[in-house]
Structure 1
Amino acid sequence: MSLIHTAVGRREFLRASALTAGAALFAGRSHAAAADESFGGFTVGIQSYTFRKFTLEQALKKTQEAGLPFAEFYNGHIPVNSSPEKIAGIKKLCTEYGITPIAFGVEHFSKKHDDNKKKFEFGALLGIKYLSADPDPDSFDSLDKLVDEYKIAIAIHPHGPVGGGKMHRWSSAEFIMKALKDHSPLIGTCLDTGHLIRSAQIGVNLDPVQQIKVMGARNFGLHLKDHDNKRKTDVPYGDPTGVLDVAGVLKALKEVKFGGYISIEYEANESNPSDDVKKCVAYFKDTVKKIG
């Protein structure tokens, strides 16, 4: 067999493995809300950083009021060093508000295996299936072992421009795919449409739809948000100053057989983001109806 055929065969094998592994994350779980046709069958929740100025219970209440049944929590609402007893209480509180923890992050990972393992143990107690992450390049050998042990996927989160005219170290889907080529199919991405749009501020044009297609089966999560680059602020989907093609994003996710989580995240108007979040939810549902 030629080297070309070998390479192609490996890529196809990894793609198939990633699809199988991604689907397996949901095996045995009842996601009735995920199948809600108003969300087009997607698992849609909040990135709790949206409500960072509020307590955990206030954030849960606001998530419930927005009609979102899932949450990707961040460390400000649930510290990763929380005791098992505290986590049990938090899960009970989530149940009272009808919110299911689905993911957590964004968390840093290094080559220190024991430190990484503690975050996976935390994730297992919380009952999540994904850790959105900013891993060091030398962390992957450790993460390969941990995603296999805990069946919790790592979803690398690109962060767009980080100052000084520079991009975040995980700058694009192409760069991430190159780094992951020899690693576990349970390591992929949580792309952020807002940060992809922001990249144009320093002359880097990254189309969210195309980036999703590049990641293919390694799309595990998505931070769905729109951004106005002139005013440098997030805007609700459908706002005249925004640019996000929500319909194109959802079609691309369907095309790559996406089975992960979509976190609606809104970083503007931090003292009172609820009305804009509700606009985002309504626009999402309207888009689902339009594209079928």
Structure 2
Amino acid sequence: MTAFGARLRAAMDERGPLCVGIDPHASLLAAWGLEDDVDGLETFTRTVVEALAGTVAVFKPQSAFFERFGSRGVAVLERAVADLRAAGGLVVMDAKRGDIGSTMAAYAQTYLRPDSPLFSDALTVSPYLGYGSLKPAVDLARESGAGLFVLALTSNPEGAEVQRAVREDGRTVAATMLAHLAAENAGETPMGSFGAVVGATLGDLSSFDLDIDGPLLAPGIGAQGATPADLPAVFGAAVRNVVPNVSRAVLRHGPDAAALRGAAERYADEVRAAVAG
């Protein structure tokens, strides 16, 4: 399989630089007139997939909102992943897995092994047991042509106490993670497959080297307050590699399929204009 970074670059160039989160909050199900049960989850997910799978570049299903319904919820997620990928969308599984040794290897096999029912184009992972703990996922992603998004500078306020902590060498933990990713991506064209999660709500990040030659998954646009116009100021020269994620600001337009498509298209156009400007 072609490497994730190359497939991501092609998808964003063709469909627009946008990732739509699939986050079936109980409040969203209610807003759509659905029950907070597996049937409601399935209707919600199927509607989003049918409306957007053929036009949006990237999708980020939040695994927790499916797992809370047990095996039947995970079955809905499996079907969504398969249908999104069959329609040409790329799937970033938002599971934020992080562990050591054989456990990390098992997580990697769940999401990054091509014959797994949850095989995704990329996976979000947590490096806070040490970057080296991610090696099983890094190795399997390379082998499978998949990618990773490593939590680096997240938008939640609590994240700063770990991510901006200063190491003995004078670098912050976040800067260390970004440097590891830059090393993973060295020599890859047109873009590496190992990205970072960097919040779009964080303001000026010029003190960090975000030019990791890989993608930057940027949550925070829409309901959290950031706009596409903010992206150049936050990401600077790395803005072309930003994958902006919008969830509720698109999903609230459902269950009308045309309204969902219209909202996604508007955000993609706004991001494209901001990046080009």
TM (norm. structure 2) is 0.61
Q: Which residue of 2 aligns with 1:137?
A: 129
Q: Which residue of 2 aligns with 1:167?
A: 160
Match for 2:20 among 46, 50, 68? 46
Report whether the alignment pairs 1:25 with 2:17. no
**Distance 1:64-1:249 versus aligned 2 partners, 3 A rule:** farther
Render the CA deviation track for 1:231-290: whole Å, top value 9, x for unaligned: xx534736xxxxx523446762267xx3xx7142245697558576554233123335x5
Q: Which residue of 2 aligns with 1:190?
A: 197
Report whether the alignment pairs 1:154 with 2:148. yes
Render the CA deviation track for 1:4-33: whole Å, top value 9, x for unaligned: xxxxxxxxxxxxxxxxxxx94345x59754
2:219, 2:246 within 8 Å by CA — same for their partners in 1? yes
Paired residue secondary structure (1:128) = coil
Partner amino acid, structure 2, of 1:190 = V
TM (norm. structure 1) is 0.59
Shift of 1:154: 3.3
Give the Cα–Cα distance (whole angstroms) in 1 for the partners of residues 106 and 269 of structure 2.
38
Report whether the alignment pairs 1:73 with 2:61. yes
Match for 2:96 among 107, 115, 122? 107
Give the Cα–Cα distance (whole angstroms) in 2 for the partners of residues 114 and 150 of structure 1.
16
1:222, 1:262 within 8 Å by CA — same for their partners in 2? yes
Number of residue pairs matched by the alignment: 230
Deviates more, 1:213-222 or 1:79-88: 79-88
Identity %: 10
Partner amino acid, structure 1, of 2:274 = T
Deviates more, 1:113-122 or 1:72-81: 72-81
1:191, 1:219 within 8 Å by CA — same for their partners in 2? no
RMSD over aligned Cα, in angstroms? Answer: 4.3
Partner amino acid, structure 2, of 1:128 = S
Partner amino acid, structure 1, of 2:224 = D
Render the CA deviation track for 1:193-222: whole Å, top value 9, x for unaligned: 12x14xxxxxxxxx14x26x6132264332
Q: Which blocks of at least 5 consecutive residues in structure 2 are unaligned?
A: 30-43, 166-170, 186-193, 255-259
Give the Cα–Cα distance (whole angstroms) in 2 for the partners of residues 153 and 222 of structure 1.
12
Give the Cα–Cα distance (whole angstroms) in 1 for the partners of residues 266 and 133 of structure 2.
41
Q: Which residue of 2 aligns with 1:34?
A: 12
**Distance 1:33-1:148 versus aligned 2 partners, 3 A rule:** closer
Render the CA deviation track for 1:158-214: whole Å, top value 9, x for unaligned: 333445xx73522499532225656862665121212x14xxxxxxxxx14x26x61
Partner amino acid, structure 1, of 2:175 = M
Q: Which residue of 2 aligns with 1:177?
A: 175
Q: Which blocks of at least 5 consecutive residues in structure 1 are unaligned?
A: 1-22, 198-206, 228-232, 239-243
1:266, 1:277 within 8 Å by CA — same for their partners in 2? no
Q: Which residue of 2 aligns with 1:57?
A: 46
